[in-house]
Amino acid sequence: MPGQAYTKLAELQRRTAVLASVDELVHWDQETYMPPGGAKLRSEQCALLSGLVHERATSKEVGELIEQCAGEGIPSGSIEAANVREWKRDYDRARKLPREHVEELSRTRSIAQHEWQKARAASDFSKFEPHLDKMIDLMRKSAKYYGWPAGGEPYDALLEGYEPGATAAQIEKTFAPLRTRLSRLIQEISASGVRPDDAVHTRDVPRRQQEAFVRFAASAIGFRFEDGRLDVSAHPFCSGLGPGDCRMTTRFRDNNVMDALSSTMHESGHGIYEQNLPAEAFGTPCGSAVSLGIHESQSRGWENLVGRSRAFWEWCVPHAKELMPELMADQSVDSVYAAQNIVEPSYIRVEADEATYNLHIMLRFELERAMIRGDLSARDVPREWNKRFKDYLGIEVDKDANGCLQDVHWAFGLMGYFPTYTLGNLYACQFFEAAREQLGDLDAMFRKGEFAPLRQWLTENIHRHGRRYAAGELCKRITGKELSAEPLMRHLEGKLKPIYGLA
């Protein structure tokens, strides 16, 4: 039986989570339905709400209750013990940055973001350089305030905010073999002379048909529309407000329904995770997602490992023909499957295919790690970027807007965030191999449109635990192994070599 302090703390934190969900809701509205005129009031609403949430989460009372929990004999290994451990972690971390630093960060962020936009539009890095310089300085200070475990490095302190427990050294160890092998695979593909027809990516499809198609797919894989919504925003995202209410968005381009499908499958993966967290644990760590890497493993699993598989299209093509007859008239399983797996080096990360994507991430990880170490100054970023880009992807960057100015992350002070995208790809492949071992022939199920066994397996092994186990520990519990690059390489080579006649 949890003691008095634990019960009181849980109630307090639950109310904070309710308040935080209101903050999330107004953010969702800002990206979807808010009229442009609402911007000024909205920024006040957001500032007030997040201020209140921060105040509650870092109050002295919370700190005292966490300490009192230690005397309540909570059995180690229990869910309650995991909650107290995570509450303490969040509390300590949230109190480490001095108020003046947080304020300076927030000022710098809004200026840097604004200047980044202008610099990107002009494709002129020199306009952004002083702001990046300032941001690197602030990020190095943040790392110092947070601190890092002995034997580590400052970058670890930032990484901890997105992927608790991960370290730069570990990530480097996992990424390094991937870099060479991926580069080689991509070169072989480029040299193969095979170029799948991409007609399904270039033809106009009426918006009504596109919408019916992506909703059909989201619901087939298990996103519950009675507990969620799908709307439209410039940058697709998913926001799990709490039990029974998960908001996701997608985007529609007139001539590329597959773009809307990928975005929707991706956000559905995030949504399915949020919808299957234990509802009764809402407001506690064990009722929330464990890390960005694990979250991304869910989205990329459904988007890529399911949505770009041949078995998926064997099931989906007849439905697609019914919902989008004009687009699909001359298409077959083979043609759509090949088009969905076109690999081609390109400048922009968010448009990159499944194979080249990870090289975009590695480059960013290496550069930001060097910035935080003090080995790379803002001024040298374009040169280093372009050099590595040529090495890894084989193409010359033509302008800064297609190179180091393309992402908002650094202007926003999001350093330590990029690696979680590739960690997500790696976790997804390793989890799917375990699922195949335990569930049998997943492809045979996909061919029949049976996605529930996989979804239930993910809920059983990942979703229902919330933050009970750290990401690395969760991976070992599920797969028996540490995270490795092998499953991803097996997946990509196994799929792409036959398509490109390399097998």
Contacting positions for Zn ion (CB under 5 A):
299
The candidate with the shortest Cα–Cα distance to 273, out of 433, 450, 86, 431, is 431
- In the three-class reduction of DSSP (H, G, I as helix; E, B as strand; rest coil), residue 403 is classed as coil
Question: Residue 23 CB, nearest distance to Zn ion (Å)?
Answer: 20
Is residue 278 a contact partner of residue 308, using CB atoms and an 8 Å limit? no
Handedness of CA 416, 418, 421, 422 (dihedral sign): negative
Question: Residue 270 CB, nearest distance to Zn ion (Å)?
Answer: 6
Distance CA 493, CA 355 (A): 9
For the chain, how long is the longest CA-to-CA vector? 70
Distance CA 291, CA 165 (A): 10
Distance CA 115, CA 98 (A): 26
Active site residue 450: no
**DSSP string for residues in 219-282:** HHHT--GGGEEEEE-SS--EEEEETTEEEEEE---TT-HHHHHHHHHHHHHHHHHHHTS-GGGT
Distance CA 231, CA 203 (A): 23
Q: Which amino acid is at 311?
A: A
In the DSSP assignment, the letter for residue 75 is P
What's the Cα-to-Cα distance from 310 to each of 20, 339, 353, 444, 495, rounded to whole Å?
41, 11, 16, 11, 9
CB nearer to Zn ion: pick between 131 and 266: 266
Question: Residue 462 CB, nearest distance to Zn ion (Å)?
Answer: 15
Residue tagged 């309650």 (tokens): 80
Question: Residue 422 CB, nearest distance to Zn ion (Å)?
Answer: 12
Is residue 277 a contact partner of residue 463, using CB atoms and an 8 Å limit? yes
- In the three-class reduction of DSSP (H, G, I as helix; E, B as strand; rest coil), residue 17 is classed as helix
Tokens of 157: 């302190």
Is residue 312 a contact partner of residue 446, using CB atoms and an 8 Å limit? yes
Is residue 249 a contact partner of residue 236, using CB atoms and an 8 Å limit? yes
CB nearer to Zn ion: pick between 167 and 239: 239
Distance CA 269, CA 186 (A): 27
Q: Which residue is nearest to Zn ion (CB)?
A: 299
CB nearer to Zn ion: pick between 210 and 297: 297
Handedness of CA 478, 271, 452, 221 (dihedral sign): negative
- Which is the catalytic residue, given 86, 129, 267, 433? 267
**DSSP string for residues in 94-153:** HTTS-HHHHHHHHHHHHHHHHHHHHHHHHT-HHHHHHHHHHHHHHHHHHHHHH---TT--
**CA dihedral defined by 385, 345, 269, 471, rounded to 10 degrees?**
-50
Q: Which residues are catalytic?
A: 267
